[in-house]
Amino acid sequence: MTMHAANADSIAAAAQHLRAGKLVAFPTETVYGLGADATNDAAIAKIYALKKRPVFNPLIVHIAAFDWLGTLATTDDRAVILAKAFWPGPLTLVLPRSKTCAASKLVSPNLKTIAVRQPNHPIATHLLNAVERPLAAPSANLSGHVSPTLAAHVEADFGAALDIILDGGPCQTGLESTVLDLSTATARLLRPGAISAAEITAHIGPIGPSAQMTTAEDLKSPGQLEKHYAPSVPVRLEADAAEAGEALIGFGSTANADINLSAAGDLTEAAANLFHALRNLDDPTRFSGIAVAPIPKAGIGIAINDRLRRAALGR
Ligand code: TXA
Ligand code: MG
């Protein structure tokens, strides 16, 4: 059986699986992760294979406590300040790999850096503490598909190919973590998320702009493949209404929405509902496309619009 309600027994079984080099999907506050023992080359290789993920796209390593960071990466003042301010939480720090880094080179092939975060979810923390090793975990979706915010989304993408999916209910944030590159003198935002650039700037000063990249060749530093969060039907943004055949994702006062991300106009609620809405309406037998009402570009709305823009680029 694949799906397991997360409890002490299933988490213990999952930890055993991970220590044996197998994969386990587990909830975090952002999205579900597809976890593997970050110190085990063969286990990491299974992640790329199962997700059909190109190996030039590196993985985030998850830790249970700040003091695990020293076993993986070299830190500086900025990293310590940001970890103190936002961990556990949806902020991933890209740092230089330490000389004695415990993680497999396969988590970031051909790079001198490693991406690390401490998730803020009791099941993830419990699991990490039971495994007693850092876990590499990309979002638990097929490469190029929308990230999973429910255990059922993970099952839809991988089904029986996974022995254990720990079901912890819906993810609270619903968008992937903010990714910040601290491997260079000027910090750079690689992926917007729930922790905004403004919040980061408030702690460490100005950060550099993020470059936009579309192909593997452009990837001087990965983390930013443009085409990503794509449903199989076309996505049309800034729509006032649906055209014939289209589904409509609304926000606030949108009329006739098939799904309203937040009738109250709350961006946090909208973020939590976005990926489920895209998965739900991504059905070519029902809709020719998905139209999306304008979403304000402030706070977490910046991350929502980033994911929508990528979804609209298509497959
Ligand atoms: O919220 C999240 O971050 C979720 C949960 C499971 O933690 N994980 C997630 O992983 O979204 P993934 O693999 O779907 O996205 C990781 C992003 C990718 O864009 C990847 O290129 C970037 O982080 N990344 C990972 N390691 C990197 C590195 N060393 N340098 C630059 N970018 C890196
Ligand atoms: Mg992903």
Q: pLDDT digit string (tens) for 263-279? A: 999 999 999 999 999 99
Residue 314 has a pLDDT of 75
Long-range contacts of 121-124 (CB under 8 A, 24+ apart): 121/27, 121/28, 121/29, 121/88, 121/168, 121/172, 123/6, 123/11, 123/26, 123/27, 123/166, 123/168, 124/26, 124/27, 124/28, 124/29, 124/33, 124/62
- 115: Cβ below 6 Å to ligand 1? yes
Residue 225 has a pLDDT of 57
Residue 301 has a pLDDT of 97
Nearest CA to ligand 1 atom 15: 138
| Cβ within 8 Å of residue 7, ≥6 positions away | none
Residue 215 has a pLDDT of 44
- 14: Cβ below 6 Å to ligand 1? no
Residue 210 has a pLDDT of 66
How many other C-beta atoms can be found within 10 angstroms of the C-beta atom of residue 252?
A: 18
pTM for this predicted structure: 0.95
231-250 burial: b if 16+ Cβ within 10 Å, else e: bebbbebebeebeeebbbbb
Nearest CA to ligand 1 atom 23: 223
Ligand 1 midpoint to CA 58 (Å): 7
Atom of ligand 1 nearest to the CA of 140: 6
Long-range contacts of 73-76 (CB under 8 A, 24+ apart): 73/97, 73/98, 73/101, 73/114, 73/116, 74/98, 76/182
From 26, 48, 60, 141, the mutation candidate for ligand 1 (largest count of ligand atoms within 8 A of CB) is: 60
- 179: Cβ below 6 Å to ligand 1? yes
CA distances from residue 74 to 95, 112, 231, 311 in whole angstroms, order as listed: 6, 11, 38, 35
Ligand 2 midpoint to CA 17 (Å): 22
CB of 308 closer than 8 Å to CB of 237: yes
CA dihedral 265, 267, 268, 269 (to 10 degrees): 40
Q: How far apart are CA 306 and CA 212, in angstroms?
A: 11
Q: Which segments within the chain are labelled E, that is strand? A: 3-5, 24-26, 33-37, 60-62, 91-96, 113-117, 135-136, 164-167, 178-181, 188-191, 235-236, 246-250, 259-260, 289-292
- 91: Cβ below 6 Å to ligand 1? no
From 44, 176, 195, the mutation candidate for ligand 1 (largest count of ligand atoms within 8 A of CB) is: 176
Q: pLDDT digit string (tens) for 76-125? A: 999 999 999 999 999 999 999 999 999 999 999 999 999 999 999 999 99
Atom of ligand 1 nearest to the CA of 108: 29
- 59: Cβ below 6 Å to ligand 1? yes
Q: How far apart are CA 223 and CA 111, in angstroms?
A: 12
Give the distance from CA 172 to its chain's centroid. Answer: 13
Ligand 1 midpoint to CA 31 (Å): 12
Walk along the chain (315 residues) in steps of 10 and give the mean pLDDT of each run: 93 98 98 98 98 92 98 98 98 97 96 97 98 98 93 95 96 97 94 95 90 46 59 95 98 98 98 97 97 96 95 82
Residue 230 has a pLDDT of 78
Q: How far apart are CA 65 and CA 315, in angstroms?
A: 37
Residue 55 has a pLDDT of 85
Atom of ligand 1 nearest to the CA of 62: 7
